[in-house]
Structure 1
Amino acid sequence: MGWKNAELWVNLFLMLLSAAVIREAFELEVGTPQNPGSGFMFFGAATVLGLLALHRFVRSFVVKPVRGETRGEPIHKGRILAVIAANILYIVLFEILGYLLCTFLFLSFLFQVIERGRWVHRVGGAALTSVVSYLFFARLLQLNLPKGVFPFF
């Protein structure tokens, strides 16, 4: 199976998976952004996943590969293991450190592992993403997030 065929099948699978999750989210009751139901986050995540997979699926038909184009960068097994370990640590430390600090540390690490760049951009991006996501989930959606070492949030 060629690379293009694999991409088609993966994106088709992701679209079907997102459709199934969206269906189940409606079973749980989606609600509204002001009054989210238990299926709200599942619905949102599956919708984004489905749209991205649809975009990649259509793009694979429209965009012609450049002659001699490779599949991309080689797979770095160490990076994959580091990301898996970071996810496990995030889950373990989430309640202890709280949402803001744990998310900031997690994103800082991921930004470093995925693409090395200036530390100001990594730390700034992690801080901005953590604060904006906190404001979205805790203030706008009024979800109770673990406070951890920052009890004043």
Structure 2
Amino acid sequence: MVRRDAAVAAMALVFGAAAAYESSKLPFGTVHNPGPGFFPWWTSAVIVLLASILLFQALRSRSSTAREGPGRIAKVAALLVALSVYTFLLDPLGYPLCTFLLVLFMLRATDPQRWAVALSMAAITAVGSYIVFAIWLSVPLPRGPL
């Protein structure tokens, strides 16, 4: 697992650096008036940063604490199904309710949290992201029946 993490991190680092180089050829713009290279450059910079951290951790670690098995595969499959259901229910139920239900499911199914923690984190995530995107950034999100 450690070698696999290091290999994936190295590949992400190479692709992130290549993307940063290519996006630097585009006009960058400013924070208040971003150009076509602004978002790709910052995205690739974050990829390079996170890949570097993962590579450092993978090379420093001697053994893996994560275990692969049918339980982990079932959790990944459940998350894929949940994300698929989320996309289909987003328009009829709306962003806040669907996001609340998705985060609640993720916190209870993948790494079971107490109900109080799961409910509060789901509510904070749904309301907080709605405020940021719909109100602050004026992104049109499905409102649903609520």
Q: TM-score, normalised by structure 1?
A: 0.73
Query: What corresponds to 2:11 in structure 1?
Result: 13
Equivalents in 1 of 2:116, 2:128: separation in Å?
A: 18
Alpha-carbon contact 1:15-1:53 (below 8 Å) kept: yes
Query: What corresponds to 2:119 in structure 1?
Result: 123
After superposition, what is the alpha-carbon deviation per residue over 1:86-132, rounded to whole angstroms, capped at 9, x for unaligned?
01011111111111111110111011122112111011111101111
1:72 and 2:66 correspond: yes
Alpha-carbon contact 1:30-1:43 (below 8 Å) kept: no
Tell me how far 1:49 sits from its aligned partner. Answer: 3.8
Pair 1:88–1:30, CA change in 2 (3 A): farther
Of all paired residues, the percent bearing the same amino acid is 27
Q: TM-score, normalised by structure 2?
A: 0.76
Structure 2: tracts of 5 or more residues without a match:
none
Alpha-carbon contact 1:21-1:43 (below 8 Å) kept: yes
Pair 1:9–1:103, CA change in 2 (3 A): same
Larger deviation, residues 12-21 vs 94-103: 12-21
1:50 and 2:48 correspond: yes
Alignment of 1:1-153 (within 5 A): 3-19=1-17, 23=22, 32=31, 46-61=44-59, 63-65=60-62, 69-75=63-69, 76-150=72-146
After superposition, what is the alpha-carbon deviation per residue over 1:124-151, rounded to whole angstroms, capped at 9, x for unaligned?
111101111111111222111111122x
Larger deviation, residues 83-92 vs 139-148: 139-148
Q: Post-superposition, which runs of at least 4 consecutive aligned residues in structure 1 deviate over 3 A?
A: 16-32, 34-50
Larger deviation, residues 95-104 vs 135-144: 135-144
Alpha-carbon contact 2:26-2:36 (below 8 Å) kept: no
CA RMSD of aligned residues (A): 3.0
Alignment size in residue pairs: 143
Pair 1:123–1:55, CA change in 2 (3 A): same
